[in-house]
Structure 1
Amino acid sequence: MKKKIFKKGAKFLVQPIGRYLLKENHRLACQYAGYYERLGINKRVIFYECRDGAGITDNPYAIFKYLLDHPDYQDFIHIWSFSDFAAAGPVIAKYRNRPNVKFVRRNSKSYLKALASSGYLINNATFQSFFSPKPGQIYINTWHGTPLKRMGFDIPGNPAHSQNVVRNFLSADYLLSPNPHTTKMYTDSYKLKGLYGGRILETGYPRIDLTIRTEARKVREELGSLGLKLDPEKKTVLYAPTWKGEDVSHVENDAEKIMEDFFVLVREAGDAYNFLLKVHPYLYGESAKLPALRNRLVPDSFDTNELLVGVDVLVTDYSSIFFDFLVTNRPILFYVPDAERYKEERGCYFKFEELPGPVFSHVRDVVKTLPQIGDLQEQYRERYEAAKQAFVLYEDGNATERIIRFIFHGETGDVKVLDHLNTGKEKILIYPGGLKDNGITSSFINLMNNLDHSRYDVSCFSGYPRSQEVLKNIAKIHPAVRLLFKPGLPLYTLPEVYRDKWIHHFGKRGRLEQKLYPHRAYKREHRRLFGRTAFDYVIDFSGYSLYWAKHLLPAEAKKKICFMHNDLLSESRKTINGKMPHYINLRGLFTVYNDFDKLVSVSKGTMELNRERLSKYAPMEKFYYVMNSIQPERIFKMEEKRPQYQMEMGGEITFIPEKDRYHFVNMGRLSPEKGQDRLIRAFANVYAKHPVSRLLILGQGPLKEELQSLIDSLGIGDAVFLLGQIEHPFPLLRRCDCFVLSSHYEGQPMVLLEAMTLGMKIIATDIVANRTVLEGGKYGLLVENSINGLEKGMLAVLERGGELASEPFDYRRYNKLAMETFYNCLREG
């Protein structure tokens, strides 16, 4: 025992400092948190980062250039982030004689200090996950183009791929938009409507000012000085494909395909044009290795919008570059060899027939088109003009000035401002739990799908979904619900990491813990995760861990609510394989119960039980109850859609109930509190008297092997079947004769409500939650909470089932009442 305690103590002491020393992401978060707390804000310093510190370009560059040259802003200091100082050499040399222009290596201490102390922060993508602007800092996210490709939650697949983008947007004071389509990207594709507390400035793009105002002669001269092959007597064709990969560490295949196509263009077009190649930053390093591209590859550091000034024909695919090029009135050719695959995997916002230029799937067709480019331009004139009206309507060369005057001086001018995006709905932030297959997840999904979304704006906050099981459940959540995730590490100093670990283990129970509780750290972390957002209600719907509660409690909300889905004192003491899996998590959570406004059980009986057993943690008036809602349409829809039984089951199981057998069915997690071991023992006695009987148990859990061994030892393997987790169990339930719930304790069992909705015969142990749901036996038979009680119940149903008929359950009326209890919980007290 002493050795075990020593090992735990050593781990407590060594792990945080070990991670700090050995893992850069831990060290960066801790160091930045320290500077965040210690450093003041210098309102005369502007910090810029472009594409993870890849260079000086895009919208941040246009803003920087304007401020640097304008006489009104000469007292500002400009700091640029660079990842590769060797590659940045020419850029640094260019500004060597500018004492107010500085450069910091990304992730260095100088970088972290600048990030934590600059008055203005400007980025065209995202800052890293540890970043959070301090109160008083102004964060301007310019983004990096009008989207042709689907963005944010519109992209198929795992919705967490944009987690840090959404987090950055919520933290920004200003988001820049060049047109209504990009504004819609923010509001709809990233679901900022109804949540974002900053301002969207829709007034054109600073970077397009560079395309309008830069002289073509200067661009050609600069390109020539960099060694690019340009004949002033020939037209210049720029091939600028986007990057379509997913893994930035393996870009070789993408680069090879682009090079192959580019050399076909060069070779087959002959010597009639200047050909330049501009690749995505992720591909530049690989492309720059090829000697054949030495005089054709545009350096990554060369600003794209300045480059466009010297281009006569643009060839591109899904890149947003073509939107910017519209201001030149020059022709655009779209080369999309992978159109169908890309539309299926990523998707686009526009049909190819709407694009302001011809679309080709073969590179040789692009070559054939070049000599007729003038005729084609006239052919696509109407589409081109329509695109200009839609996407570059604000572009007059003065967008940067309008934005600067608005942000720095509060001059509205002609800027279209979308302010706070308030929909008038009350905002709910809710943590649903791990979203694995269990009763809490079912209850949450039902609540979200029954909720009146015209009254409430809901953000679901959870961890990164790492399994198909979780992704499947996320897909069931109502589409109006916004998904927020928890990217990166918490923003704690190293001492706060230790304090957090201590609180996680012991809770906020004693005088020492009260003093150690890191309120400031948790408040800072809440701001990191949710930015400028203010919520009306925060709800820990899981109610099983201090880890998630601590992220919600710092919110300045009208009500903070913690759900209690079970007899939680019993849950905290539950033992599986000699361990108590919930003990530490629940012990810590109990100690912050009084920080919540309401502690919500899922039935009146469970509320009374929790109030009695946990009264030392919170006053009686904080205990409340909300009934679980159900989704009747989901319970019944399988029968309507798939009349054949095997189709209904989707091939998930091979067991088909036999018509001449009597089938008892149990559904729930294979866990000690569900009492399935007692049910199996009770059924063995029933089976000995009634060989026609069968027992089906649906669910997964830690006791699966133990229960299977019990079945085998009792010699009833041909009558008891563990069928595992079934995605759509209701077709199977409908073909069974009686539902049996054998639990030692419950909160408000969803499975009983579902069985009642199906009109099944029901047997349930006489515990508080079951008695409440069945209304004292109105909807099913309550039996003694023992093996003997379960046996007697099953025998009674088999031998005199007709006498045990229950009343029909009005599930519509129940669901209406259940939702009213939830709405009342929000409104009352």
Structure 2
Amino acid sequence: MKTNISKLTDKQLAQYNKNEKKMRTIADYTTLYEKKLPMKEDILFAESYSGNFLSHSIVQFVKQVLNKKKEMHVVLSTSNMKSFYQAFSIDEQKRILVVKRDSNKYLFALVQAKFIINDGDFPDYFIARHGQIVINTAESFFGFYTDKLSAYEKRSQRAILQSNYLLMSESVKKQLFTRLRLHDIKDFYLATLKTNTQDQKSDWNILFLKKDSKLDSANKLKKFISESNITNKVIILVHPSELSKYQNFSEFGRYVKPFDYSIEKYINKAQAVYSDNEFLLDKPVFDSLDRYIILENLKTDSFSVSERKNEFSADQLLFNKDKWLKYPNKKKNIIIYAGGFQNNGVTTSSINLSFNIDYSKYNIIYIDKWKYDEDSEKNVLKLNDSSTLIFRTGATDYLMEERQPAGQLQSVKGFDSLSKKNKVYAQNVFKRELTRLLGCIDIDVAIDFSGYVVFWTSIMAFSNARVKLIYQHNDMFAELSKVVNGKLKHADKLPQVFQLYKFFDSVVSVGQKTLELNAEHLSEYANRKQYKYVANSIVVDDIRNKANDYSNVVHINGSDYLVEDNVFKILPDKKTFTLVNIGRMGPEKDQKKLISAFYEAKKKLDMPIKLFILGSGELEESLKKQVSNMKLESDVVFSGQVNNPYIFLNRADAFILTSNHEGQPMVLLEALTLDKPIIATDIAGNRSVLGEKYKDYLVNNSEKAISKEIVELCLSQNYERTNRLSFDAKGYNEYSMDLFYKLIED
């Protein structure tokens, strides 16, 4: 195949020649994919266990096709030739072309085969072509992994979306989609494969173990078999990747077998199968056996067999679409990049949206990186279970001539610096990348909810979505001059994002005043009509319920503590006047100014007063040092990142926010929802939330004004301002969602 390498730098050429990070393989595949070669209807491409083993379902499917369709040829991806020779007869072998994963023949087969079947993951670069029949059984991973989503499962998400036909029962599909955070965001077709299994008339037993099983030693296996009264011979089935571990058990090693094509001869000698995961028991190959689930206490219980319907032979399934049950997507798809789920207001806003969206009309699909730190991992778990979360795994598919334009788009110069031809190259890269991640799903709305990362901005900007939005959660012009640790944090990144505003239908500010600032300062990047306002939504019941949730509160030595992740965090004492600040410890939140103002106020007050600061960030250590220098250690409490900040807020006397710039601070809405007095700096974002009704909560953005307000609020015993006002939280939420729906439907 001919790949254009003339545009490569010397470094890229060296990487291409060495095939570093599969650069050559990816380029060669992408070249073939873009050529749109004619598909061959007499070729079935099959792969199992990423080309390392041959699973039972794949071998059965291939055998049935070869038996019934004499004109069909099979391209089989495997590096395990011993298994190949044992699995297929000599006549069958003659009609099978064996290829190795990533080889040239492999790439041609992926692109040209009309029919493709896989039992797990495809290569990261694979994109199903329009018109290909792509079948997935998920057999190589589903049921083996049971705790956190593994890296392999996150890769397999993409493989499921590249498939349009799922060879599994309805109950398995339901459990699979729940496990992988998928929903019917495209049309899927479902059926099960009819297999011939003999009646068992033997006294053997099968022990089928998930990955990281509790039965992971010879002693544990021996004890379980003894206590379960399994007196006859036992075959131990494991995931192929764990085969060597179990085969090293001296007493059981020779009875350990991989879950692959070879299991059929053992099944035909067995009477029962035991497993520590019910989904492994649900494999159709075990239909004629007695089945027992191994409970957490390593006792056994009978497994309730799911009903199987819609069973057909492989040849019927390949050539008769009406044999498959259709599971259509009847909703509009909204895809969102939410900024990596870091601890910030963008994450809170996106999580809130997942709880307020109308799931009877919309699928909300978050796409994001696949590796998280501990805090981001926790935030991801807060998403509504009805939402879909797709992890970006693997590398982008490039033609070699596209690498430089795509890189330049993300560099300091940005999209506008590209030639007309290179702009097309760059746009094609990001269009293709979205298809690589999600398959050929229909996208109604694409939203860059972050607005800071040019890669994801490009994904949304160049998508084929009917409506495209990019959010501005802050005064973006002010963000250009934001300094962290002596360096401009966003100055070399945001201009590239701004250059892509022209490709969006709306540039959405989350505050009315913030909109006015952004439209004025960034007018060169989009016309005034593109700048729109949509207020962030809140989850009212969640705020109020958590504010009064004392299930994790303990009382020790006269103080209350919130216990989260085995960490005890002292709560505000209702007998002491307390201010609470919630937010990331960055320059824009300016807790340094807050601490100084608190210090000055405390000197003027003849009463105890405390300040709680919730959150984390790059300035945390310097703020703690400031507190130490001012000898405020007993008066200022750093609570760190808190899963339930509302209980702190609810117990406090007032909420205080001393930011220099904001978009639409969610914490102000949360404080209003809990009817808390507020001290907030008079900046555009804060004024957007508080408006005229709550303008008395606003103070001049200076240390002196903030200190004075703290003193006055502390000395006021009646808090008359708050008692006179009420915040219609649910009415506000309906208003914010109406704005959102109007924007995506117009």
Q: Please tell me the TM-score bracket, short chain as reference.
A: 0.7 to 0.9
* Mapping for residues 678-827 of structure 1, pairs under 5 Å: 678-692=593-607, 693-776=609-692, 778=694, 780-799=696-715, 805-806=721-722, 807-827=725-745
Q: Secondary structure at the match of 2:410?
A: helix
Aligned pair in 2 of structure 1 residues 667, 239: CA closer, same or farther (>3 Å)? same
Q: Secondary structure at the match of 2:443?
A: coil
**Which residue number in structure 2 is paired with residue 603 of structure 1?**
511
- 1:305–1:324 contact (8 Å) kept in structure 2: no
- 1:241–1:280 contact (8 Å) kept in structure 2: no
Structure 2 unaligned residues grouped into runs of 5+: 1-7
Deviations 1:263-293 (CA, angstroms, capped at 9, x unpaired): 9999965xxx8x7665543344556678988
Aligned length: 724
Aligned pair in 2 of structure 1 residues 83, 780: CA closer, same or farther (>3 Å)? farther
Q: Secondary structure at the match of 1:69?
A: helix
In 2, Cα distance between equivalents of 1:822 and 1:772: 17
In 2, Cα distance between equivalents of 1:533 and 1:767: 42
**Which residue number in structure 1 is paired with residue 105 of structure 2?**
110
The one-letter code sitting in structure 2 at the alignment partner of 1:36 is Y
The one-letter code sitting in structure 2 at the alignment partner of 1:679 is L
CA RMSD for the aligned pairs? 3.8
- 1:239–1:276 contact (8 Å) kept in structure 2: yes
Deviations 1:578-634 (CA, angstroms, capped at 9, x unpaired): 222223332221111111111111011111111111111111111111112222323
The one-letter code sitting in structure 2 at the alignment partner of 1:548 is W
**Which residue number in structure 2 is paired with residue 404 of structure 1?**
318
In 2, Cα distance between equivalents of 1:32 and 1:433: 30
**Which residue number in structure 2 is paired with residue 45 of structure 1?**
43
In 1, Cα distance between equivalents of 2:374 and 2:640: 16
**Which residue number in structure 2 is paired with residue 82 of structure 1?**
78
Deviations 1:479-514 (CA, angstroms, capped at 9, x unpaired): 211221112222224443433222111321234387
Counterpart of 1:244 (choices 179, 203, 210) is: 210
Deviations 1:51-96 (CA, angstroms, capped at 9, x unpaired): 22234453332332233234x542x432111133466465689359
Greater shift in the superposed pair: 103-112 or 614-623 = 103-112
In 2, Cα distance between equivalents of 1:63 and 1:93: 14
Q: Secondary structure at the match of 1:746?
A: coil
In 1, Cα distance between equivalents of 2:715 and 2:554: 28
The one-letter code sitting in structure 1 at the alignment partner of 2:103 is S
**Which residue number in structure 2 is paired with residue 371 of structure 1?**
none
Q: Secondary structure at the match of 1:650?
A: strand
* Mapping for residues 555-704 of structure 1, pairs under 5 Å: 555-642=463-550, 646=555, 649-650=562-563, 652=567, 654-658=569-573, 661-692=576-607, 693-704=609-620
Greater shift in the superposed pair: 437-446 or 489-498 = 489-498
In 2, Cα distance between equivalents of 1:504 and 1:252: 50
- 1:756–1:779 contact (8 Å) kept in structure 2: no
Q: Secondary structure at the match of 2:155?
A: helix
Q: Secondary structure at the match of 1:509?
A: helix
1:339 aligns with 2:295: yes
- 2:114–2:132 contact (8 Å) kept in structure 1: yes
1:459 aligns with 2:386: no
1:545 aligns with 2:494: no
Q: Secondary structure at the match of 1:583?
A: coil
Aligned pair in 2 of structure 1 residues 762, 119: CA closer, same or farther (>3 Å)? same
Aligned pair in 2 of structure 1 residues 562, 243: CA closer, same or farther (>3 Å)? same
* Mapping for residues 120-135 of structure 1, pairs under 5 Å: 120-135=115-130
In 1, Cα distance between equivalents of 2:227 and 2:581: 66
Q: Secondary structure at the match of 1:165?
A: helix
* Mapping for residues 231-630 of structure 1, pairs under 5 Å: 236-246=202-212, 253=216, 269=232, 279-285=238-244, 302-305=261-264, 308=267, 310-311=268-269, 313-317=271-275, 318=277, 320=280, 324-325=284-285, 331-332=289-290, 334=292, 338-340=294-296, 352-355=301-304, 387=305, 390-393=306-309, 399-407=313-321, 412=322, 415-419=323-327, 421-422=328-329, 424-505=330-411, 506-512=413-419, 515-516=422-423, 518-630=426-538
Aligned pair in 2 of structure 1 residues 597, 696: CA closer, same or farther (>3 Å)? same
Q: Secondary structure at the match of 1:589?
A: helix
Aligned pair in 2 of structure 1 residues 479, 128: CA closer, same or farther (>3 Å)? same
Deviations 1:398-430 (CA, angstroms, capped at 9, x unpaired): 5223213315xxxx3xx24215x22x3322111
Q: Secondary structure at the match of 2:588?
A: helix
The one-letter code sitting in structure 2 at the alignment partner of 1:196 is K
Greater shift in the superposed pair: 780-789 or 790-799 = 790-799
1:181 aligns with 2:171: yes
- 1:140–1:172 contact (8 Å) kept in structure 2: yes
In 1, Cα distance between equivalents of 2:253 and 2:591: 72
In 1, Cα distance between equivalents of 2:228 and 2:651: 66
The one-letter code sitting in structure 2 at the alignment partner of 1:650 is V
Aligned pair in 2 of structure 1 residues 691, 513: CA closer, same or farther (>3 Å)? farther
In 1, Cα distance between equivalents of 2:121 and 2:51: 10
Aligned pair in 2 of structure 1 residues 622, 268: CA closer, same or farther (>3 Å)? closer
Q: Secondary structure at the match of 1:538?
A: strand
In 1, Cα distance between equivalents of 2:310 and 2:532: 54
Aligned pair in 2 of structure 1 residues 238, 20: CA closer, same or farther (>3 Å)? farther
1:32 aligns with 2:29: yes
- 2:461–2:500 contact (8 Å) kept in structure 1: no
Deviations 1:242-269 (CA, angstroms, capped at 9, x unpaired): 232249xxx9946886699899999965
- 1:629–1:815 contact (8 Å) kept in structure 2: yes
Deviations 1:320-368 (CA, angstroms, capped at 9, x unpaired): 467535665xx5364x5x521589xxxxxxx93454xxxxxxxxxxxxx
Shift of 1:711: 2.8
In 2, Cα distance between equivalents of 1:658 and 1:621: 50
Greater shift in the superposed pair: 721-730 or 536-545 = 721-730
In 2, Cα distance between equivalents of 1:475 and 1:258: 34
In 2, Cα distance between equivalents of 1:523 and 1:721: 48
Greater per-residue strand proportion: 2
Q: Secondary structure at the match of 1:391?
A: coil
In 2, Cα distance between equivalents of 1:760 and 1:804: 12
Q: Secondary structure at the match of 1:674?
A: coil
The one-letter code sitting in structure 1 at the alignment partner of 2:127 is S
The one-letter code sitting in structure 2 at the alignment partner of 1:619 is N
In 1, Cα distance between equivalents of 2:374 and 2:635: 32
- 2:204–2:235 contact (8 Å) kept in structure 1: yes
TM-score calculated relative to the size of structure 1: 0.78
Counterpart of 1:205 (choices 193, 197, 203) is: 193
TM-score calculated relative to the size of structure 2: 0.86
- 2:338–2:366 contact (8 Å) kept in structure 1: yes
* Larger-Rg structure: 1
**Which residue number in structure 2 is paired with residue 370 of structure 1?**
none
The one-letter code sitting in structure 2 at the alignment partner of 1:101 is I
1:195 aligns with 2:185: yes
In 2, Cα distance between equivalents of 1:265 and 1:654: 46
- 1:507–1:513 contact (8 Å) kept in structure 2: no
The one-letter code sitting in structure 1 at the alignment partner of 2:184 is G
In 2, Cα distance between equivalents of 1:602 and 1:525: 29
**Which residue number in structure 1 is paired with residue 5 of structure 2?**
none
Deviations 1:100-135 (CA, angstroms, capped at 9, x unpaired): 421112233432333233332211222133322233
In 1, Cα distance between equivalents of 2:52 and 2:313: 24
Aligned pair in 2 of structure 1 residues 295, 726: CA closer, same or farther (>3 Å)? closer
**Which residue number in structure 1 is paired with residue 90 of structure 2?**
94
Aligned pair in 2 of structure 1 residues 157, 810: CA closer, same or farther (>3 Å)? same
Aligned pair in 2 of structure 1 residues 780, 650: CA closer, same or farther (>3 Å)? farther
Q: Secondary structure at the match of 1:627?
A: coil
In 1, Cα distance between equivalents of 2:671 and 2:236: 65
In 2, Cα distance between equivalents of 1:288 and 1:642: 50
The one-letter code sitting in structure 2 at the alignment partner of 1:754 is E
In 2, Cα distance between equivalents of 1:664 and 1:434: 30
The one-letter code sitting in structure 2 at the alignment partner of 1:194 is D
Aligned pair in 2 of structure 1 residues 405, 96: CA closer, same or farther (>3 Å)? closer
